[in-house]
């Protein structure tokens, strides 16, 4: 089978593939959402934590629990991937040992079989630029091993942009090379602004994300690109920036909207909501909101660029209206 062909191809239930990442502590919530919206959900990805430098897999989320959840998802017609992340220091050690790399690949394939998962999602971030060739070779080998067992390979990535090409250094990911071996590439279009950055703003904007997807689709086949989108918001404490944080609670956001003099304003240049409020300590806050309206702007990007679909980070405290928006927008007409 050719490396650029998905070994587990299933037509999406709606006009685009709909998927989301799932954390262990919110697995039951995720299952409830998938059950309610099983007519549009195609895939969920279980976040299994960090792989180890000796090639062993994380054990925080027991395989037996994931197997049970995978079986329940399969009854709903929903595919499951196991996601393995990796620290920069871990990869530095792994890459020195061909035996450890071989063990890691073998362990991932075996755990797919043991849990009933349809494949693997890789989330190694912030590696050194000089690791790009070794990492690409790892992805090639993992792809071959998974495809041999009729499993699929997905990868979480950043995305190129004209600004990054001008101001950034060489990335560790060579998108055009990696794109040859993976079945899905999930560019993460969030954390544009986040609490530790010196400049405040929303976690994602439609113009920023669209420009990145345009650049990526020039290097990677569009049918492999699954656009990563946020479900969470960012609350900036203007008085004390150290108290700024990401918000994973749509009901809390609704309460802040009631307290605000402006309610939930819309910023048309970013396609995102904004709530300005004052807390009990009289601190002024700017709360940039991810909701159904801001999500629809991203859905328009998926459609207009003819991308494979979308994947949400994360199923935790999100506004149910987001899923209804996806259902209405991508529902077969």
For residue 192, the SS3 value is coil
Categorize the per-residue pLDDT at 8 as very low, low, confident or very high, splitting at 50, 70 and 90: low
pLDDT-derived band at 9, boundaries 50, 70, 90: low
Residues 6+ apart with CB under 8 A from 24: 46, 47, 60, 61, 65
Query: What span, in angstroms and rounded, lies between the C-alpha atoms of 143 and 319?
Result: 35
Q: Which helix (H) or strand (E) holds 139?
A: helix 132-148
User: Is residue 316 classed exposed, middle or buried when 0-12, 13-18 and 19+ CB atoms within 10 A define those classes?
Assistant: middle
- pLDDT above 50: residue 7: no
pLDDT, averaged across the chain: 95
Packing angle, helices 132-148 and 98-115, rounded to 10:
40
Q: Give the model confidence (pLDDT) of 56-88 as tens digits.
A: 999 999 999 999 999 999 999 999 999 999 999
pLDDT for position 238: 96
The whole-model pTM stands at 0.96
Residue 333 confidence (pLDDT) above 70: no
Reply yes or no on whether the pLDDT at 1 is more than 60: no
Where does the pLDDT of residue 197 fall: very low under 50, low under 70, confident under 90, or very high at 90 and above?
confident
The CATH number of 233-289 is 3.10.50.10
H/E stretch holding 131: none
- Contacts of residue 98, defined as CB under 8 A and 6 or more positions apart, other chains included, come to none
pLDDT of residue 10: 81
Q: Going by DSSP bridges, is the β-strand pair 184-187/79-86 parallel, antiparallel, or unpaired? A: unpaired
Binning pLDDT at 50, 70 and 90, where does residue 198 land? Answer: confident
Question: Sign of dihedral through CA atoms 302, 80, 140, 54?
Answer: positive
pLDDT, tens digit, 9 for 90 and up, residues 267-314? 999 999 999 999 999 999 999 999 999 999 999 999 999 999 999 999
Contact between 165 and 174 under an 8 Å Cβ cutoff? The reply is no
Statement: residue 18 has pLDDT above 80: yes
How many whole angstroms separate alpha carbon 297 and alpha carbon 7?
31
CA 83 to CA 255: how far, in whole Å? 34
Residue 332: the pLDDT is 67
Phi-psi region of 116 (alpha: psi -120 to 50; beta: other; left: phi over 0): left
Contact yes or no for 297/210 (Cβ under 8 A)? no
Measured CA to CA, the distance from residue 102 to residue 104 in angstroms comes to: 5
State residue 6's pLDDT score. 45
The pLDDT of residue 268 is: 97
Distance set, CA 107 to CA 41, 45, 278, 280 (Å): 28, 18, 51, 51
Question: What are the angstrom distances between the C-alpha of 251 and each of 65, 160, 233, 248, 318?
Answer: 29, 34, 12, 9, 9
Give the list of residues 6+ apart from residue 100 with CB closer than 8 angstroms, or none: 53, 54, 55, 93, 94
Residue 115 confidence class, pLDDT cut points 50, 70, 90: very high
Q: Which CATH class is domain 17-231+291-330?
A: alpha beta
* Domain map (residue ranges) of the chain: 17-231+291-330, 233-289
In the chain, what percentage of residues exceed pLDDT 70?
96
Q: What pLDDT, on a 0 to 100 scale, did the predictor assign at position 169?
A: 73
Tens digits of per-residue pLDDT, 132-148?
Answer: 999 999 999 999 999 99
Residues 6+ apart with CB under 8 A from 138: 95, 101, 105
Pairwise CA distance, residues 78 & 75, whole Å: 7
């Amino acid at each position: 089978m050719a490396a650029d062909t998905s070994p587990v191809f299933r037509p999406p239930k709606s006009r685009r593939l709909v998927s989301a990442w799932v954390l262990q502590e919110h697995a039951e919530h995720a299952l409830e959402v998938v059950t309610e919206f099983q007519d549009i959900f195609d895939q969920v990805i279980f976040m299994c934590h960090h792989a180890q430098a000796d090639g062993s897999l994380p054990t925080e989320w027991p395989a037996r629990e994931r197997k049970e959840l995978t079986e329940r998802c399969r009854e709903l017609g929903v595919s499951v991937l196991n996601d393995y992340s990796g620290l920069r220091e871990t990869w530095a050690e792994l890459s020195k040992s061909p035996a450890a790399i071989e063990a890691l690949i073998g362990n991932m394939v075996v755990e797919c079989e043991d849990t009933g998962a349809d494949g693997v999602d890789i989330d190694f971030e912030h590696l050194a630029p000089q690791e790009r060739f070794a990492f690409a070779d790892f992805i090639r080998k993992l792809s071959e091993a998974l495809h041999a067992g009729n499993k699929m390979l997905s990868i979480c990535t950043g995305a190129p942009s004209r600004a990054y090409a001008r101001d950034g250094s060489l990335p560790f990911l060579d998108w055009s090379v990696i794109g040859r071996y993976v079945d899905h590439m999930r560019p993460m279009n969030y954390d544009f602004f986040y609490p530790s950055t010196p400049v405040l703003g929303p976690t994602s904007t439609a113009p920023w994300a669209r420009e990145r997807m345009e650049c990526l689709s020039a290097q990677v086949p569009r049918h492999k690109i699954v656009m990563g989108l946020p479900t969470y918001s960012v609350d900036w404490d203007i008085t004390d920036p150290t108290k700024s944080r990401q918000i994973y609670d749509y009901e809390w956001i609704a309460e802040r909207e009631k307290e605000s003099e402006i309610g939930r304003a819309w910023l048309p240049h970013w396609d995102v909501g904004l709530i300005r409020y004052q807390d009990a300590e009289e601190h002024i806050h700017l709360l940039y909101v991810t909701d159904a309206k801001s999500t629809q702007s991203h859905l328009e990007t998926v459609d207009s660029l003819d991308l494979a679909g979308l994947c949400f980070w994360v199923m935790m405290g999100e506004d149910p209206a987001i899923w209804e928006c996806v259902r209405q927008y991508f529902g077969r007409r």
